[in-house]
């Protein structure tokens, strides 16, 4: 008993040290319940109003009106554009908790000018044809009869990268999101159709006017691609490809064909509308492949946020890689001079956002915060300087790494506690 108590005392002492003069929760002694206002006594006041149980609220839940994080258009491009078409809409990662992006906040990219198709799932078909023994068409009901998988995966657009003009993490990194996806492995469908020898690629096609097609290596298609009808416990949202979207885990976003209606098995890479101006296969891009490199970003504190003053903060961030599981995340709170291992929160899943954190006592002086991800292949997230050195080009302020830029993001914490994008 005595031992227990002294352990507890030591724990309390240690947590006070950790807090380093924590200014949070400095509570005045609570007076009598009836005297004075409850708020000034440190207690939660009685609610002033109650949310009425309207039909709407009961039928499909909404978040609290005090939660205001929303998506916004990305990269200075108005979304939807003047015709109501092309959309690049970014997730508010600064408000993210855990690893799942709520479906209503999942980023959206429709790249080639189409409205969101309004598809009746009863009419929808997935055709699997080309170099197969048995061409097949599946209704949504057919697909739901087949063995399913449920997996956490991120999707990330090639446009997602540190940028000198980004005011917030939503601007720089909001074109990635992570959801729980449910569907049928593409390998199940391809085996059912019987892939013929000599086949080496598939072309996956969407249902909208411009077809949003992509060529995908057959090896990847047979490995871990999923034809998904479920997202975060319900049907895939229209903006994400309702009623069926392809997930190509860890590959650049454009491969994840939405409104999936056709898989053609072929014996070579086919150019598609998506190649126009996008998948430049110069040697520099090709060197980086289709795979998203190891990546991480500190979500709190991040640019646009304000620290209350010196003292304890849990730094929080997200890490992910197309190369599998996040194995390690390091954080620097001194501009990259020294690095500490962050803690991985929960379980790291393959090709999924992974939450990390680090306890930090801010001494109130200006500093730079960085994070660096290592994946299960041993790939390490580089700095811009390292990428420039690799390609033997000078590191100028406007140097943009080619391909899917996975360089380290730096945030600057000013002495007044304001946090800024320090593109370096
Ligand atoms: N059919 C179709 N699929 C598509 C697109 C598209 O315009 N049409 N956009 C692609 C791009 S560029 C990206 S980054 C991802 C975005 O997926 P999301 O909108 O679900 O976030 O979908 C890809 N799949
Ligand atoms: Mo994209």
Over residues 393-421, the mean pLDDT reads 93
Over residues 241-257, the mean pLDDT reads 96
In this prediction, residue 10 has a pLDDT band, given cuts at 50, 70 and 90, of very low
> For residue 32, with 0-12 CB atoms within 10 Å meaning exposed, 13-18 middle and 19 or more buried, which class applies?
exposed
Residue 142 phi/psi, 5° resolution? -55, -50
Q: Which atom of ligand 1 is nearest to the CA of 260?
A: 1
pLDDT tens digit string along 164-202? 999 999 999 999 999 999 999 999 999 999 999 999 999
Over residues 399-403, the mean pLDDT reads 84
> Which pLDDT does position 109 carry in this prediction?
92
CATH of the domain at 324: 2.60.40.650
Same domain, 201 and 320: no
Same domain, 277 and 306: no
Over residues 390-408, the mean pLDDT reads 89
Q: In 70-200, where do the E strands start and end?
A: 72-73, 87-90, 108-110, 125-130, 136-139, 149-156, 176-185
Same domain, 307 and 254: no
CA of 366 from ligand 2 middle (Å) equals 35
- The answer on pLDDT for 82 being more than 90 is no
Say yes or no: CB of residue 258 within 6 Å of ligand 1: yes
Among protein residues, the one whose CA lies closest to atom 18 of ligand 1: 108
Residue 381's SS3 state is coil
In a domain, 63, yes or no: no
In a domain, 48, yes or no: no
CA of 15 from ligand 2 middle (Å) equals 44
Same domain, 157 and 282: yes
Percent of the chain past pLDDT 90, that is, above it, reads: 68
Q: Give the pair of three-digit tokens for residue 50.
A: 């109650």
Which residues lie below 8 Å from residue 123, measured CB to CB, with a gap of 6+?
none
Q: How far is CA 153 from CA 239, 299, 424, in A?
A: 17, 19, 29
Average pLDDT in the chain: 88
Say yes or no: CB of residue 356 within 6 Å of ligand 1: no
Same domain, 228 and 187: yes
User: How far apart are alpha carbons 136 and 113 in whole angstroms?
Assistant: 29
Residue bearing tokens 């033997």: 392
167, 210 Cβ separation under 8 angstroms: no
Same domain, 390 and 281: no
Which residues lie below 8 Å from residue 194, measured CB to CB, with a gap of 6+?
132, 133, 134
Say yes or no: CB of residue 155 within 6 Å of ligand 1: yes
372, 409 Cβ separation under 8 angstroms: no
- The answer on pLDDT for 269 being more than 70 is yes
Rounded to a whole number of angstroms, the CA Rg of the chain reads 24
pLDDT tens digit string along 327-384? 999 999 999 999 999 999 999 999 999 999 999 999 999 999 999 999 999 999 999 9
Same domain, 275 and 304: no
Same domain, 307 and 280: no
Of 240, 274, 289, which residue constitutes the final position of a domain?
289
- The answer on pLDDT for 95 being more than 70 is yes
Same domain, 163 and 186: yes
DSSP-assigned letters across all residues of 93-117: GGG--SSPPPGGG--EEE-SS-PPP
Q: Give the pair of three-digit tokens for residue 222.
A: 């047979």
341, 329 Cβ separation under 8 angstroms: yes
Nearest to 173 by CA among 421, 349, 368, 389: 421
- The answer on pLDDT for 250 being more than 90 is yes
Of 271, 289, 307, which residue constitutes the final position of a domain?
289
User: How far apart are alpha carbons 412 and 242 in whole angstroms?
Assistant: 40
Determine the residue of 206, 258, 259, 277 to mutate for testing ligand 1's pocket, defined as the one with the most ligand atoms within 8 A of the Cβ atom: 258
Same domain, 251 and 345: no
Q: Quick one: which ligand is closest to 111's CA?
A: 1
Give the residue, 253 or 30, on which the prediction is more confident.
Answer: 253
Q: Quick one: which ligand is closest to 256's CA?
A: 1
> Which pLDDT does position 21 carry in this prediction?
52
Number of domains observed in the structure of the chain: 3
Give me the domain span that covers residue 11. 2-40
Instruction: For CA atoms 282, 423, 333, 159, give the dihedral sign.
Output: negative
User: How far apart are alpha carbons 265 and 196 in whole angstroms?
Assistant: 9
Over residues 237-257, the mean pLDDT reads 96
Percent of the chain past pLDDT 70, that is, above it, reads: 86
Specify which residues 7 forms β-bridges with: none
Determine the residue of 71, 228, 241 to mutate for testing ligand 1's pocket, defined as the one with the most ligand atoms within 8 A of the Cβ atom: 241
225, 216 Cβ separation under 8 angstroms: yes
CATH of the domain at 218: 3.90.420.10
In this prediction, residue 85 has a pLDDT band, given cuts at 50, 70 and 90, of confident
> Which pLDDT does position 204 carry in this prediction?
96
In a domain, 181, yes or no: yes
Of 231, 255, 289, which residue constitutes the final position of a domain?
289
pLDDT tens digit string along 109-147? 987 667 789 999 999 999 999 999 999 999 999 999 999
189, 118 Cβ separation under 8 angstroms: no
Say yes or no: CB of residue 387 within 6 Å of ligand 1: no
Same domain, 339 and 204: no
- The answer on pLDDT for 14 being more than 50 is no
CA of 109 from ligand 1 middle (Å) equals 5
> For residue 20, with 0-12 CB atoms within 10 Å meaning exposed, 13-18 middle and 19 or more buried, which class applies?
middle
Q: Give the pair of three-digit tokens for residue 139.
A: 């209704």
Determine the residue of 238, 256, 277, 290 to mutate for testing ligand 1's pocket, defined as the one with the most ligand atoms within 8 A of the Cβ atom: 256
pLDDT tens digit string along 283-322? 555 545 688 999 999 999 999 999 999 999 999 999 999 9
Give the chain's length.
Answer: 424
pLDDT tens digit string along 22-70? 556 555 554 444 444 555 568 888 888 887 777 767 788 889 989 999 9
Over residues 68-79, the mean pLDDT reads 84
Q: Which atom of ligand 1 is nearest to the CA of 106?
A: 21
In a domain, 91, yes or no: no
- The answer on pLDDT for 13 being more than 60 is no
> Which pLDDT does position 213 carry in this prediction?
86
Same domain, 236 and 285: yes
pLDDT tens digit string along 192-212? 999 999 999 999 999 987 788
Specify which residues 354 forms β-bridges with: 319
Q: Which atom of ligand 1 is nearest to the CA of 107?
A: 21
Q: Give the pair of three-digit tokens for residue 328.
A: 């390690």
Specify which residues 228 forms β-bridges with: 183, 245
Q: Which of 11-15, 186-190, 248-252 has the lowest mean pLDDT?
A: 11-15
Q: How far is CA 312 from CA 224, 297, 329, 368, 415, in A?
A: 42, 20, 20, 16, 15
């Amino acid at each position: 008993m005595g031992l227990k108590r002294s352990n507890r005392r030591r724990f309390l002492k240690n947590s006070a040290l950790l807090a380093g003069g924590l200014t949070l929760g400095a509570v005045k002694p609570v007076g009598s319940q009836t005297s004075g206002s409850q708020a000034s006594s440190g207690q939660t006041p009685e609610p002033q109003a109650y949310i009425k149980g309207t039909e709407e609220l009961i039928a499909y839940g909404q978040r609290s009106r005090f939660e205001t994080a929303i998506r916004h258009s990305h990269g200075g491009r108005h979304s939807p554009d003047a015709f109501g078409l092309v959309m690049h809409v970014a997730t508010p990662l600064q408000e993210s908790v855990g690893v799942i992006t709520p479906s209503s906040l999942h980023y959206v990219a429709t790249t080639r000018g189409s409205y969101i198709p309004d598809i009746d799932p009863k009419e929808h078909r997935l055709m699997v044809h080309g170099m197969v023994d048995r061409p097949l068409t599946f209704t949504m009901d057919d697909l739901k009869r087949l063995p399913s998988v449920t997996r956490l995966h991120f999707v990330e657009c090639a446009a997602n990268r540190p940028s000198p003009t980004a005011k917030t993490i939503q601007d720089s990194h909001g074109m990635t999101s992570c959801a729980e996806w449910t569907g049928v492995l593409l390998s199940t469908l391809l085996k059912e159709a019987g892939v013929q020898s000599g086949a080496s690629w598939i072309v996956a096609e969407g249902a909208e006017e411009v077809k949003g097609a992509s060529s995908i290596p057959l090896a990847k298609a047979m490995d871990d691609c999923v034809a998904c009808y479920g997202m975060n416990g319900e049907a895939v949202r229209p903006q994400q490809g309702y009623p069926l979207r392809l997930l190509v885990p860890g590959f650049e976003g454009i491969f994840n064909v939405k409104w999936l209606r056709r898989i053609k098995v072929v014996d070579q890479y086919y150019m598609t509308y998506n190649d126009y101006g996008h998948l430049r296969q110069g040697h520099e891009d090709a060197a980086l492949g289709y795979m998203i490199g190891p990546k991480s970003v500190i979500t709190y504190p991040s640019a646009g946020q304000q620290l209350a003053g010196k003292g304890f903060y849990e730094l929080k961030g997200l890490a992910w890689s197309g190369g599998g599981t996040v194995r390690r995340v390091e954080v620097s709170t001194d501009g990259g001079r020294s690095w500490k291992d962050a803690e991985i929160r929960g379980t790291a899943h393959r090709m999924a956002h992974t939450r990390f954190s680090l306890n930090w006592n801010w001494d109130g002086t200006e500093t730079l915060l960085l994070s660096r991800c290592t994946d299960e292949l041993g790939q390490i997230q580089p700095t811009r300087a390292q990428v420039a050195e690799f390609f033997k080009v000078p590191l100028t302020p406007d140097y943009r790494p080619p391909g899917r830029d996975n360089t380290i993001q730096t945030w600057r914490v000013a002495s007044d506690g304001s946090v800024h994008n320090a593109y370096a």
